[in-house]
A and B are shown apart, each in its own frame.
Chain A
Amino acid sequence: MNPYIFIPIAGVSVPIVLILGMGLLVGFLSGLFGVGGGFLLTPLLIMIGIPPTVAAASDSNQIVAASTSGTFAHWKLGNVDFKMGLLLLVGGVVGGTFGVQLIKLLRATGNADFVIKITYVIMLGVIGSYMFQESLRNLKHRAVSYAPREAMEAESLFARINNHLPLKMEFEKSGVTLSPLMPLMLGILVGVLSALMGVGGGFIMVPVMVYMLRMPMHVVVGTSLFQILFTCINVTFMQSYYNHTVDLTLALILLVGSTIGAQIGAKISYRLKADQLKIILASIVLIVMIKMASELLMHPSLMLTLKSGH
């Protein structure tokens, strides 16, 4: 017996076990890598027949639960850098507001769809490939010899820019000294991209924190979840108020699975090595990128799709 549940806002009926399983999987990834999982769950929900707008909005709602649960777990483990998280959040809100206006402009010129899809594929491709190569290199180096990290850092463009920025501040939890302008600017950049791509931005934020802010991987996960929590609270309310696209029934089933998955993910993330975590996340990002690229290149089964907002 496979009981179905009726999703009233979407107007579809789906197996409860399937929705619970999806929530569990995405929550697990959320706890493991500090990503909201929107980039993975929204396409999965669309695949089982949930309209894209309802899928994206309800996904944001369940991410609130998963990231609350994940932030709570990481906070107890001492993995949340609140100072860094707040700066990234402020930057993200500013960048997100700008990104929404940019979408309006692109829509007026009729290029929004193209820009959004291409941005998705390029961002996923670049981030996934870089993370994969870097993690693989680190794993190999560790086996042969320990390369001094400071030597590599000294040559990076980021280090040179950071040295020229004023108002240096120490982020004890992350173990880095930076100008607050740096996380603020990176937050703006991620905020713009998040608005363009319609996701929480965890899968962009995590590599930014690891490779540009040079934060330790376990602090990155907790801090990213903290930032995602507030972003998704804002998105859930806005989608519910303006578009009526949050389906609470769907979100409730998803979040029951995702909160349990997030706890399991957080526990496992603490036991795994940083490069192992990065290489798994890079593989997932690349798989999603390949799927999206194939959708852009292959003949679609349906030539018409319901017109919907971003």
Chain B
Amino acid sequence: MMRLRVPIFLFTSLVTLWLLCFPIAVAEPISFAVDVRPSIVKIDAFFKGADIFVSADIPNCDGAVVKMEGRPTEISFSKKGKVAFIWMSVAELSVRNIPEIYLMAVSDEISNFCSDEKCAELRIGYTALKKNAVFESVKPLDGTEFDEFLKFKKEKGAYRIDREASISLSPLGKAKLSSILHLPPTVSPGNYDIEVYCFQSDTLIGTGKSKITIEMVGLPKLMTDLAFQQPALHGIVAVIIAMIIGIIMGFIFSSRSGGAH
């Protein structure tokens, strides 16, 4: 009996040692190129938001996510509450570690292809954002803050998740991803990453990234620069233009009525 136990012990030890030295290789997600059109969005006088078309050749997968996430920011809010039948601001509230914009296109329900842990790690979905958001107020928080914040952002078009990513299979076993992200007019100028994630059986099997530049041009840029860089001049110009237009309109109308009489 003793003779038998020694070889078993030696065999088990050798196998353990081999596994420790040569662990089973975990497949790294493959990287692929992402095409974004347009890659430069110009905010001009007639800008009313824009559609961004994202496409990529991706590995065959269960589900895909296209994400555009803005810089982390801090926002201060007034929270409404009821005081003796009247709705009024009852507390000041600030939230930080949340993106100023969060746009996503998905091919399916997120929970169908991405585990909660993986989603939290990659900041995919509102639940992931909720975990990172930090709310602060001098008054006690009641737990509804994130939902109310989400409602606020959704109404502005700054946070949205659409089922607008489609995956089409090619005969060679490759897949093609096509999707649209809807940029709201409230988007701030700057550089943004467009990230694409592909999942197979809850595992991330492919990622890709591209950049998009949003810039203010023409009249909006002129007005914004004047308002923020030379506020005194902006104030004087605003008053003078208003008065001149008022006087011109006065002359036009008085001369018209004079002619009529």
Contact = CB atoms under 8 A, between A and B. Distances in A.
Interface residues of A, number: 59
A262 B234 CA distance: 25
Contacts of A259: 245-246, 249-250
Nearest to A296: B86
Contacts of A8: 43, 216, 219-221, 223-224
A154 interface: no
Given A117-B88, A298-B87, A241 B235 contact: yes
A303 interface: yes
Interface string A234-255: 0011111110101111011001
B22 interface: no
A106 interface: no
Given A240-B227, A297-B85, A246 B235 contact: yes
A6 B44 contact: yes
Chain B at the A interface: SS class: helix
Contacts of B227: 9, 240, 244, 246-248
Nearest to A67: B246
B73 to A, nearest CB: 12
9 contacts: A4-B47, A6-B48, A8-B223, A11-B186, A12-B185, A73-B250, A242-B231, A248-B237, A304-B93
Contacts of A70: 246
Interface in A251-310: 251-252, 255-256, 259-260, 262-263, 267, 295-300, 302-307
A73 B253 contact: yes
B185 A6 contact: yes
Contact of B232 (A233, A241, A256): A241
Contacts of B228: 244
Nearest 6 interchain pairs by C-beta: A68-B246, A240-B235, A72-B250, A259-B249, A8-B220, A13-B48
B42 to A, nearest CB: 11
Contacts of B245: 65, 68-69, 252, 255-256, 259
Contact of B76 (A69, A299, A300, A307): A307
A255 B242 contact: yes
A236 B219 contact: no
Contacts of B86: 114, 117-118, 296-297
A174 interface: no
Given A6-B43, A233-B239, A302-B148, 17 more contacts: A4-B46, A4-B48, A8-B220, A8-B221, A13-B47, A113-B88, A117-B86, A237-B235, A241-B231, A246-B227, A247-B227, A263-B250, A304-B151, A304-B152, A305-B89, A307-B76, A307-B77
B185 A11 contact: yes
Contacts of B49: 13
B148 A303 contact: yes
A256 B144 CA distance: 44
B83 interface: yes
A164 interface: no
A296 B80 CA distance: 10
B127 interface: no
A148 interface: no
Contacts of B45: 5-6, 249
Interface string A20-54: 00000000000000000000000000000000000
